Amino acid sequence: MRHSLFASLQRGFPEDLNAPALVEPTASSISYGDLLRRSGGIAAALQSQGLRQGDRLLVQTGKSVEGLLLYLAAIRSGIVYVPLNPGYTAAEIDYFVRDAEPALFVDEARLAALASAPAAEFADPELAAESLAAILYTSGTTGRSKGAMLSQRNLASNAETLIGEWKFTGSDRLIHALPIFHVHGLFVATHCVLGSGASMLWLPGFDADAILAAMPDATVLMGVPTFYTRLLARPDLTPERTSSMRLFVSGSAPLSAETHRAWEGRTGHRILERYGMTETGMLASNPYEGARRAGSVGPPLPGVDIRIASADADGVGAIEVRGPNVTSGYWRNFEKTAESFTPDGFFRTGDLGRFDNDGYLWIVGRAKDLIISGGFNVYPAEVEDAIEALPGVAEVAVVGVPHPDFGEGVIAVIVPRPDQVVTKERVSAALRETLAAYKRPKRILIRDALPRNAMGKVEKAVLRKELAGLFA
């Protein structure tokens, strides 16, 4: 059996290749046959531009059908797909270009040129299971963005597991409203669909009206918790509207037990919460059949080992994982790779959790200094560096506190240099040049000092507690 990702997906394609794979509300649909031939044409175009197996393809485009076809072309030909958030600023992109050393950088214009390649049969090369399929940038537990290397086997094994566990079939239609530069929208959602011969309703992004309109013709929705809280605010979210839906999946950030219960109350469906990471794909999932526990991410997925290291008296400790889905390490970064694995080969997630008596995993916090805002990761250190570089700033602390829409909201507390004036407006304007919108503080506070402990270390926990109600 071949372990390449595309071959694995292709085994699940429908017998009738005229069946739809992608349906856009305002355009004609893309069949499995179209998908094969158009991605084949793009794969040939990439080859004729000199790209070879192992070369990196750095992609910064908005969400589009062409973007997905480019992804498929890359994974078919062994070209390493490296997606970037289209909201990144030029300053942010510069780093990824230097680090990934791409053979080709694809922006909107280049995507249009590639996607105009004539549809063609493409002879997929044999790809080693361990060869790279994608590199996704993430900051891991600390510091600067690092490229998580994901092999053909990492992605294929996780796709096969999820299709089985979540019972995807050719009759499913998934509402695809997530971005496609991250694991959730690019891998989890599209692989489940394509690898089972199902179809997806392709939306450009989150839009409550469009999602509610799609529900009567759909069976599955995948989203971050913000999707669910925003939909709950809609009076037309009813049992009737969701009656053809069989599965609501939530992940990327904690789903509150309250949202879980409210969703069941309004629709009769229990959201299936799962847990994953860029470096590992999906790790744990509440069961399709059997109890879905509000607040838990469920038992480990088949084939995935999860253990709790250095557990305290309550069984809470560091979550460590191992499996065919787990990255081999960070791109050209032996040091960070070595730090991220235990001597016996478990990956350190940076999350804290415990197992209950039935083997369900409960995530209780993070050992890493990370804010998750609307499902996007924000690294306080990166935002602090950007603010510290501004004139007049003596020091700054960035924390995340509860936010009704984004789960956590970013706050910056800034201390100006003596005799210098720092204004919120000027800081905001400057950050627009350096940081993508989702990383920028939703609130900036100017203070005389930061709380510090006896060792002189900034006490972020004190700030978090004090500012907890800021977005309430």
Binding partner at 185 among ligand AMP, ligand MCA, none, C-beta below 5 to 8 Å by kind:
ligand MCA
**Of 121-129, 176-184, 209-217, 317-325: span binding ligand MCA (CB under 6 A):** 176-184
Asked if 36 contacts 69 with a C-beta cutoff of 8 angstroms, the reply is no
User: Is residue 471 involved in binding ligand MCA (CB under 6 A)?
Assistant: no
Is 349 among the residues that bind ligand AMP (CB under 6 A)? yes
Tell me if 44 contacts ligand MCA by CB under 6 A.
no
Q: Which of 39, 138, 327, 373 binds ligand AMP (CB under 6 A)?
A: 138
253 contributes a contact to ligand AMP by CB under 6 A: yes
271 touches ligand AMP by CB under 6 A: no
Nearer to ligand MCA, 70 or 178 (CB): 178
Q: Does 196 bind ligand AMP (CB under 6 A)?
A: no
Annotate each residue in 278-317 with x if it binds ligand AMP (CB under 6 A) or - if it does not, as one string. Answer: x------------------x--------------------
Return the residue of 106, 159, 183, 326 that touches ligand MCA, per CB under 6 A: 183
The b/e string for 239-267 (b: 16+ C-beta within 10 A; e otherwise) is eebbeebebbbbbbbbbbeebbebbeebb
Give backbone dihedrals phi and psi of 81, rounded to 5 degrees, phi first: -85, 125
- Tokens read off for 163: 């299709």
Binding ligand MCA (rule: CB under 6 A), the pick from 276, 298, 400, 416 is 276
**Site for ligand MCA (CB under 6 A): which residue of 146, 153, 173, 182?**
182
Partner from ligand AMP, ligand MCA, none contacting 349, C-beta within 5 to 8 A by type: ligand AMP
Are 184 and 178 spatial neighbours (Cβ–Cβ below 8 Å)? yes
Of ligand MCA, ligand AMP, none, which one does residue 438 interact with (CB within 5 to 8 Å by kind)?
Answer: ligand MCA
The yes or no reply on residue 380 touching ligand AMP (CB under 6 A) is no
* Residue whose C-beta lies closest to ligand AMP: 278
Spell 2-37 as b/e; 16+ CB within 10 A means b: ebbbbbbbbebbbeeeebbbbbeeeeeebbbbbbbb
Query: Closest residue to ligand MCA, Cβ-based?
Result: 374
Q: Two tokens at 36?
A: 């094969």
Residue 437 in contact with ligand MCA, rule: CB under 6 A = yes
Specify the residue, 56 or 184, whose C-beta has the smaller distance to ligand MCA. Answer: 184
The stretch near ligand AMP (CB under 6 A) out of 245-253, 257-265, 409-417, 434-442 is 245-253
Between 147 and 374, name the residue whose CB sits nearer to ligand MCA.
Answer: 374
261: left (phi over 0), alpha (psi -120 to 50) or beta: alpha
The site for ligand MCA (CB under 6 A) is made up of: 178-179, 182-185, 205-206, 224, 226, 251-252, 276-278, 373-376, 406, 437-438
The site for ligand AMP (CB under 6 A) is made up of: 138, 183, 251-254, 273, 275-278, 297, 349-351, 363, 366, 372, 377
